[in-house]
Amino acid sequence: MATAPSNLRTQFKTELTCGICLELFTRPKETSLTIQPLINEGRNIMESYLSFLRSLREEEKNLDEKKKQTDSSIIQAYNQMVEKLIKRRDHLLAELDENHTKNLLRIQIERETVLADINELSAACDQAEQELQQGLEEFFILQTTLKDVVGKYRQKATPTPVQTQPAVFQPTDTPVPVLGHVMAQSLPSAPILAAPASSIEYAARGTGHQPQKMTFGGEGSETGQFMDPCSVTVSDEGVVIVADYRNQRIQGFTLQGTFIGQFPTVVSEEQKMGPNDVAMDGKGNLWVVGGTLNSDFAVQYSKQGRVLRKFDLQTSGWVRGVAVDTTRNHILITHTTGDWCPQGEVQVFRPDGTLVGTVGRQQGMEHPQYITVDGEGNILVSDWGNNCVYVYNEDGQFLFQFGGEGSGTGQLNSPRGICIDRAANIIVADMRNSRVEMFDKTGKFLKHITTDMKGPRAVAMATQGQIVITDYYDNKVSIFQNF
């Protein structure tokens, strides 16, 4: 190949050198054009983050303001409820005063009538005595006058006791007024899912042991719903039996919350009662205590709801509890008398209704309701009037009591349902404290089983180790495992 002229080689070398310089001088300018947009983008992102932080501060201010408003609403609701209670109290006292005034007026009218009769008889007798002392000139006139007066009252009926109607106060069975509920507002974008018939969740919050809870029911009269589920027991086969007070029925469920069946708590063909409490005897039959408007009963039902036997109970106007001492085949029923100064006791019956004896009056029980018998035959009674639990041996001799009014550790406020677990620990529904507590067999506090129920009312142990609790306010039943 021919060699290029020297002037061409010089020109090519010059052009090559200028191209390299051009690349070197122009590259920083292109790099600057590439980095600056990234810087701008980074600062824009940073500004959006700062804007988010400012929105968080605004949200904190809004939350504080909403909390103040909610605080004010709760206080206002409380004040309004107190005002209503005061008005109701004044109304009741006014009714009582009116009733008392009417009774006193009846007595006063009767007193004045009888005093007038006494004065007439006294005057006639006094006049006759004076004239007898003066002589017998007007004997026939005197005899006629006195005879007329005495004859008048001889035919007149003797005064009978005045029929007064003293008023009595019947408190409602609502342990504590409910102001309302505090709930978190739903997020605007969150979908609302229909709640299932039963749900499973972890009852405890935070770290540590978390008992699993399954809940079913809800307010209503349909199958599987409740209106005051005031009692519960569990059969050896694991059937959860719930006394549904205002629906006047007994319902049965599996330990998974599945409805099994129901039967009405009939007393006779024409009459049903509201069941206060239910207990199971050694043969699997149910003893239910409750009442109609004017009568109280203890009724034994078969598993199918057939009435096997019943006996009348002394009407008291207070709710009752029932337990079965399967060893002695005794039916234990709580009983309260009196309105202003209530006195309570446990009545012990044979299945035919024969009263064997009573337990607890010497300890000053006020409102005993729920009752259970442990494996040793000891009798345990919760008294929501005295805020304690009484313990007696199998012969009814007092052993000890525990609890006491308050919300501190081991204290109780309107204790209701009571049962014994497999380790002989005592489980108590502490209703007004919205919790269920566990004590050992000596009454020493062990732990809280749950603190997130509104109104725990009745408790029962299943043979598989679960605990079943009814909620009076929510009209639901919860089953706890691994508690």
Query: pLDDT grade, residue 178 (50/70/90)?
Result: low
Q: Give how many domains the chain has, as a whole number.
A: 2
Task: Judge if 326 and 427 occupy the same domain.
Answer: yes
In this structure, of 149-163, 189-203, 352-366, 417-431, the range with the lowest mean pLDDT score is 189-203
- Structure confidence by residue, pLDDT tens digits, 394-411: 999 999 999 999 999 999
Query: pLDDT grade, residue 249 (50/70/90)?
Result: very high
Task: Judge if 374 and 262 occupy the same domain.
Answer: yes
Q: b vs e for 243-268, b when ≥16 Cβ sit within 10 Å of the residue's Cβ?
A: bbbebbbbbbbebebebeebbebbbe
Query: pLDDT grade, residue 11 (50/70/90)?
Result: low
**Average pLDDT over all residues of the chain:** 82
Q: What percent of the chain has pLDDT over 70?
A: 81
Sheet holding 212-217, edge to edge: 198-202, 212-217, 476-481, 467-471, 456-461
Query: Which two structure tokens, joined as six digits, stand for 460?
Result: 């029962």
**Does residue 8 register a pLDDT over 80?**
no
165 is a domain residue = no
Query: Which two structure tokens, joined as six digits, stand for 2?
Result: 């021919």
The three-class DSSP label of residue 305 is: coil
- Position 402 scores a pLDDT of 97
Query: pLDDT grade, residue 219 (50/70/90)?
Result: very high
CA distance 290 to 246: 11
303 is a domain residue = yes
Q: What is the mean pLDDT of residues 437-463?
A: 94
Query: pLDDT grade, residue 160 (50/70/90)?
Result: confident
The three-class DSSP label of residue 51 is: helix
Q: What is the mean pLDDT of residues 40-63?
A: 85
In this structure, of 160-169, 274-283, 286-295, 461-470, the range with the lowest mean pLDDT score is 160-169
Domain's final residue, options 121, 140, 155:
155
Specify whether the CB–CB gap between 203 and 210 falls below 8 A: yes
Q: b vs e for 437-451, b when ≥16 Cβ sit within 10 Å of the residue's Cβ?
A: bbbebebeeeebbbe
Domain that holds residue 444: 200-481
CA distance 292 to 267: 9
For residue 473, the domain's CATH number is 2.120.10.30
**Does residue 21 register a pLDDT over 70?**
no
Q: What percent of the chain has pLDDT over 90?
A: 49
- Position 482 scores a pLDDT of 77
Task: Judge if 211 and 151 occupy the same domain.
Answer: no
- Phi then psi for residue 265, to 5 deg, are -85, 80
**Does residue 385 register a pLDDT over 60?**
yes
CA distance 370 to 427: 12
Query: pLDDT grade, residue 185 (50/70/90)?
Result: low
- Position 329 scores a pLDDT of 94
The 10 Å Cβ neighbour count of residue 343 is 16
Task: Judge if 147 and 274 occupy the same domain.
Answer: no
Distance of alpha carbon 410 from the chain centroid: 19
Task: Judge if 268 and 398 occupy the same domain.
Answer: yes
Query: pLDDT grade, residue 6 (50/70/90)?
Result: low
Query: pLDDT grade, residue 174 (50/70/90)?
Result: low
In this structure, of 16-20, 247-251, 278-282, the range with the lowest mean pLDDT score is 16-20
Q: What is the mean pLDDT of residues 215-236?
A: 95
Query: Which two structure tokens, joined as six digits, stand for 359?
Result: 């337990």
Task: Judge if 208 and 123 occupy the same domain.
Answer: no
1 is a domain residue = no
423 is a domain residue = yes
Specify whether the CB–CB gap between 349 and 355 falls below 8 A: yes
**Does residue 105 register a pLDDT over 50?**
yes
**Does residue 449 register a pLDDT over 50?**
yes
- Position 446 scores a pLDDT of 96
Distance of alpha carbon 268 from the chain centroid: 29
Task: Judge if 102 and 214 occupy the same domain.
Answer: no
C-alpha dist (Å) from residue 81 to 20, 88, 179, 414, 474: 91, 10, 7, 21, 21
Task: Judge if 125 and 238 occupy the same domain.
Answer: no
Query: pLDDT grade, residue 184 (50/70/90)?
Result: low
182 is a domain residue = no
20 is a domain residue = no
- Residue 482 CB contacts under 8 Å (≥ 6 apart), including other chains: 209, 211, 212
Rounded to the nearest 5 percent, the helix, strand and coil shares of the chain are 30, 30, 35
Strand segments, DSSP code E, in 431-482 are 435-439, 445-450, 456-461, 467-471, 476-481
In this structure, of 16-30, 86-100, 248-262, 354-368, the range with the lowest mean pLDDT score is 16-30
- Position 209 scores a pLDDT of 55
Whole-structure pTM value: 0.59
CA distance 366 to 443: 20
Q: What are 244's strand-pairing partners?
A: 229, 249
Angle between helices 6-134 and 139-155 (to 10 degrees): 150
Q: What is the mean pLDDT of residues 159-169?
A: 74
**Does residue 203 register a pLDDT over 70?**
no
**Does residue 190 register a pLDDT over 70?**
no
- Residue 141 CB contacts under 8 Å (≥ 6 apart), including other chains: none
Task: Judge if 350 and 451 occupy the same domain.
Answer: yes
At position 42, the amino acid (one-letter code) is: G
Task: Judge if 137 and 226 occupy the same domain.
Answer: no
Element (H, E) at 31: helix 6-134
Task: Judge if 134 and 241 occupy the same domain.
Answer: no
- Position 39 scores a pLDDT of 85
Task: Judge if 434 and 305 occupy the same domain.
Answer: yes
Sign of the Cα torsion 439, 440, 443, 445 reads negative
334 is a domain residue = yes
2 is a domain residue = no
Q: Considering only CA atoms, which of 327, 365, 318 is closest in space to residue 346?
A: 365
Specify whether the CB–CB gap between 250 and 243 falls below 8 A: yes
**Does residue 351 register a pLDDT over 90?**
yes
